[in-house]
Structures are given as structure tokens and as C-alpha cells.
């Protein structure tokens, strides 16, 4: 059963829909999402650093050896995220895998200090001291009281990007409510408890990494700036940035900022002095209205949360990998019909559709194969507003063979939009 994009009845639409293959739609989606982002200091084609020894420059290999020499005389054993770093494992004695994982961790500290072995050594020792004092190794299992309302809202891990990096979402708009702010961040003690909870989220994210030379060794951070109170969160932001930069070097492959308001440049000028050049090189920003397009560039729609134009609800990923979605572009002034052919009588079909920025008309009809049967209006055409933050989900049971036609009419807008859909068909049991 192969879906297709088909022409509608030219009488029913002021402008004919375009028939396009799903492959061409996917290629188009890639092209448009590239133009949807603005990048600070580096293009969106940023390549993540390699942790394979064979790719290192001679000067980098020398720095790695120097750091290992410094750590070989450590007063006591040191481990980071379950990886022994002092004394460094020997490949011939402890195995190549153990040595390779240690190299990954050491390279993170070296890159954070521009391959200055002495500075990387000092940073690693300070980090080890902080982890011991903070109890970072056990914080992931702690039951922290008073943060239930923040789970899945303020900071949470959800899905993976197209390269397999775990994705951490951050959204601080909830603190616009003064009551919430006072309850969570109202004084110094509350701020420290919040920082502990935020470290817990980070530690759980790090546990999803492989920390192997050819593995996934960093997460993606998506930060939603919508409704974020500027002044109130200044102290908390400084603490979090300092804490993470000092103790989680090179753990973030890319930082994506979405719903960026006009005052972002002012906020950025405040936090910029606390960031290294390497950190700033990974920043990507998306203006308000371009959120879905930008996220689809890095993350497949079935992993993007519904509030950002994706198909993923909280808890969906606990039931195993989601069904992949098909991405396509709806051009400005265009109507697109998605045809799902080969549906047998008695079968039940369910579908999900999401469109970034919506503000278009949507409808669904079932067209029986028998020319003598009538077309069934499954969902009457209606306007989907730009404010819609849930994908369309519908289920229909066919009484006879035919096809489902899902229509998305963007003829009233000049703006092109990225979209995604998927469907499930369950045949009637005889």
C-alpha cells in the first residue's frame, strides 16, 4: 500500500494541487529546513569532533600522552561517568575497549582547554573533586522532592536526533509565573536544590551516551526561549552555565535555541562571557515561526515533541521505537493531497499529521474503488490555526475497498511549510 501525492478535482480548488513523489518531498524538506536557521559563529553543517585516535593530529596525540602521564601519578584512582581515567588503563593490559573509553573522556577535557595538557589536567582534577563533593555519581537515582511539576516541562530527555544523539529539551517559560518562580527559585537554598535537579537531568542524559571512540559521545540541547523571564533567571542561568561548562566538557554536540525573541541578543551578551569559543561555535538559533522547520533538520518528526510541530507525545517512547513518519513540504499557494491506496473493506486506518505553523485548511475523504459508490467525508474541511500545538490523529474503518485522501490546502498563504505524516492499517480479521 503506497501513499502518493495526487491532483484534486480542479473545480474544488482555486489552484490545482501538485502531484509529487515522496522522495522529492523529502529532498525539498531538507533544503527548506536549511534556510530556516541562523547560526552563531559557524554554519549549520558543523561537524562533531572525532574520538578515533587515527584522526588526531600529531600535536593532539602528544597532548593526550602528556595528560596520561600527568594522571599516571594520581594520588588515588579517578573515574568519570563510570570510565577510569587515573591511572589511565593500558590497552595491552586492560583491553582496547577500556583504553578507548578513557581516551574519549580525556579528549573531552583536552578539547575544552585547546589541548593544553596542564590545563586539562587541572580541570579534570577540579571536576573529580566537585563530583565527589556533590555526589554526582549517585544523583541520577535520587528522589528529589518538589520537582514533579518540572519533569517533562523545564528540562527533560526526549528521543534522539538523526545521528543518534540523545536530545535534552529546556523550557523556562513556566517561571514567568511568579508563584512558580518563588516556589522553585525564590531563595539561595531553593536555587541549590534546583541546580541539583538540573544536574540529575544531565547525569541521566550522559548515561545514554556510549563514550566509545566510534560511538555517540554527546547530547543535543534544545532550549525554548518562549516566555522566558529575563531578569529573574539571570542568576540561575549563570550558575547552570558555569556548572556545566566546568564539569561536563564537550558533552553537548549542538545547542539549539528556538522561539528566539527580539531580546535574545541582549541575553546572549550577558551569558557570552561565561562560554568558551568552542561552546559558542555550536550554537544554532531559530526565530519564532521557524521552530518546526529547524528541528526537523536535526530530529525526525516522530521524535519531535508535539508542542514543537512533531508527532511525539510524552511517554510515547516508553513503548519502543515509534513508527517512522514521512516528511514533505507544502509550498505557498499549494494544495497537497496525500493518497493512501489499497485499503481493503473492513480494514481500519489511523493517521497522524503535523504541519509547522499550520494556518491552512485540512480535510479527509474516503474514495471507494467501486465507481458506483459515493465518496465519504471522513473529516470535514476545517481551518487549522497557527496556534495548534497537537498533531491531527484520526481513525476510520472502511466498509469497502478504496483509498483515503488527506488534503492540506495552503493556497491562502504564500509561506511554505514543513509537514509530516504517518499511517497505520489494520486488516479485518476473518
pLDDT of amino acid 2: 45
Report how far apart, in Å, the C-alpha atoms of 240 and of each of 102, 198, 202, 234, 256 are.
Answer: 26, 8, 11, 10, 16
Q: Which of 149-158, 264-273, 288-297, 358-367 reaches the highest mean pLDDT?
A: 358-367
Tell me: pLDDT of 16 over 70. no
Tell me: pLDDT of 355 over 70. yes
pTM of the model: 0.84
Instruction: Return the closest-CA partner of residue 211 out of 105, 291, 287.
Output: 105
Coil, strand or helix at 397: strand
Kind of pairing between the strands at 335-343 and 3-6: antiparallel
Dump pLDDT digits (tens) for 189-236. Answer: 999 999 999 999 999 999 999 999 999 999 999 999 888 887 778 778
Distance CA 166, CA 173 (A): 23
Distance CA 428, CA 77 (A): 63
C-alpha cell at 255: 545547542
Kind of pairing between the strands at 252-260 and 283-287: parallel
Which string of DSSP letters, residue by residue, matches 232-246?
A: TTHHHHHHHHHHHHH
Dump pLDDT digits (tens) for 372-417. Answer: 999 999 999 999 999 998 999 999 999 999 999 999 999 999 999 9
Q: Which residues, in sequence order, are bridge partners of residue 421?
A: 326, 353
C-alpha cell at 7: 491532483
C-alpha cell at 379: 473529516
Distance CA 267, CA 184 (A): 22
Which string of DSSP letters, residue by residue, matches 243-265?
A: HHHHHSTT-EEEEEEEEE-TTHH
Amino acid at each position: 500500500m503506497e501513499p502518493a501525492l495526487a491532483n484534486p478535482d480542479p473545480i474544488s480548488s482555486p489552484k490545482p494541487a501538485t502531484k509529487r513523489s515522496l522522495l522529492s518531498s523529502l529532498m525539498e524538506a531538507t533544503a527548506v529546513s536549511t534556510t530556516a536557521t541562523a547560526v552563531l559563529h559557524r554554519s549549520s553543517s558543523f561537524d562533531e569532533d572525532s574520538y578515533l585516535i587515527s584522526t588526531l593530529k600529531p600535536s593532539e596525540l602528544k597532548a593526550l600522552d602528556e595528560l596520561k602521564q600527568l594522571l599516571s601519578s594520581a594520588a588515588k584512582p579517578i573515574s568519570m561517568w563510570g570510565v577510569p581515567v587515573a591511572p589511565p588503563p593500558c590497552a595491552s593490559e586492560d583491553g582496547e575497549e577500556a583504553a578507548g573509553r578513557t581516551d574519549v573522556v580525556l579528549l573531552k577535557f583536552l578539547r575544552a582547554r585547546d589541548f593544553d595538557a596542564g590545563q586539562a589536567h587541572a580541570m579534570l582534577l577540579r571536576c573529580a573533586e566537585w563530583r565527589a563533593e556533590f555526589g554526582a555519581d549517585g544523583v541520577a537515582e535520587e528522589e528529589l522532592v518538589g520537582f514533579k511539576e518540572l519533569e517533562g516541562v523545564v528540562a527533560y530527555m526526549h528521543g534522539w536526533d538523526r545521528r543518534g544523539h540523545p536530545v535534552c529539551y529546556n523550557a523556562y517559560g513556566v517561571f514567568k509565573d511568579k508563584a512558580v518562580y518563588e516556589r522553585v527559585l525564590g531563595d539561595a537554598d531553593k536555587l541549590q536544590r534546583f541546580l541539583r535537579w538540573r544536574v540529575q537531568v544531565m547525569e541521566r542524559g550522559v548515561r545514554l551516551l556510549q563514550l566509545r571512540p566510534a560511538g555517540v559521545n554527546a547530547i543535543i540541547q534544545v532550549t525554548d526561549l518562549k516566555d522566558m523571564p529575563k531578569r529573574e533567571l539571570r542568576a540561575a542561568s549563570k550558575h547552570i552555565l558555569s556548572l556545566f561548562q566546568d564539569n561536563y566538557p564537550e558533552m553537548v554536540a549542538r545547542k539549539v535555541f528556538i522561539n528566539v525573541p527580539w531580546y535574545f541578543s541582549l541575553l546572549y551578551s550577558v551569558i557570552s562571557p561565561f562560554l568558551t569559543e568552542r561552546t559558542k561555535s555550536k550554537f544554532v538559533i531559530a526565530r519564532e515561526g521557524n521552530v518546526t522547520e529547524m528541528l526537523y533538520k536535526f530530529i525526525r518528526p516522530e521524535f519531535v515533541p508535539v508542542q514543537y510541530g512533531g508527532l511525539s507525545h510524552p511517554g510515547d517512547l516508553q513503548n519502543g521505537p515509534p513508527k517512522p513518519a514521512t516528511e514533505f513540504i507544502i509550498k505557498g499557494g499549494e494544495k497537497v493531497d496525500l493518497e493512501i491506496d489499497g485499503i481493503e473493506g473492513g480494514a481500519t486506518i489511523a493517521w497522524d499529521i503535523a504541519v509547522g505553523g499550520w494556518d491552512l485548511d485540512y480535510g479527509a475523504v474516503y474514495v471507494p474503488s467501486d465507481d458506483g459508490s459515493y465518496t465519504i467525508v471522513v473529516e470535514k474541511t476545517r481551518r487549522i490555526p497557527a496556534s495548534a500545538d497537537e498533531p491531527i490523529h484520526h481513525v476510520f474503518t472502511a466498509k469497502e475497498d478504496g483509498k483515503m485522501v488527506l488534503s492540506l490546502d495552503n493556497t491562502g498563504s504564500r509561506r511554505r511549510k514543513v509537514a509530516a505524516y504517518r499511517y497505520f492499517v489494520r486488516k479485518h480479521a476473518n
